[in-house]
Amino acid sequence: MGFVNNTAAYNKKKARKLGKLYGSIDFEVSDTISEKYFENNETPIVGKLHIGGKTFDVTYQELDAIARTMGLAKDTVNRKYKLGMMR
């Protein structure tokens, strides 16, 4: 299995400045998934999401939902800032 962010290589002190979870966010790609799952539209576990010392098995569809949610969260925070709604 390979990791996407390679968080082990982060400078821990610098990473903490970006948030307490920043240095722990990573995705471990499963090496056991087969092409047949994609061809048959099945929903196998495609990897593990690592964040804050916890690990979550996720499907491809869940990765889409996570990415969509995070994008919407960033847009919402930016809109709130631009509308002067921050404290």
What tens-digit pLDDT sequence spans the chain (87 residues)?
578 877 656 677 777 788 888 888 899 999 888 888 778 877 889 999 999 999 999 999 999 999 999 999 999 999 999 999 988
Q: How far is CA 72 from the centre of its chain?
A: 14
Q: Give the per-residue pLDDT at 1.
A: 57
- Model-level pTM? 0.79
Residue 10 has what DSSP assignment?
A: S
pLDDT digit string (tens) for 34-58?
888 778 877 889 999 999 999 999 9
Contact status, residue 46 vs residue 65, Cβ threshold 8 Å: no
Q: Three-state SS for 50?
A: strand
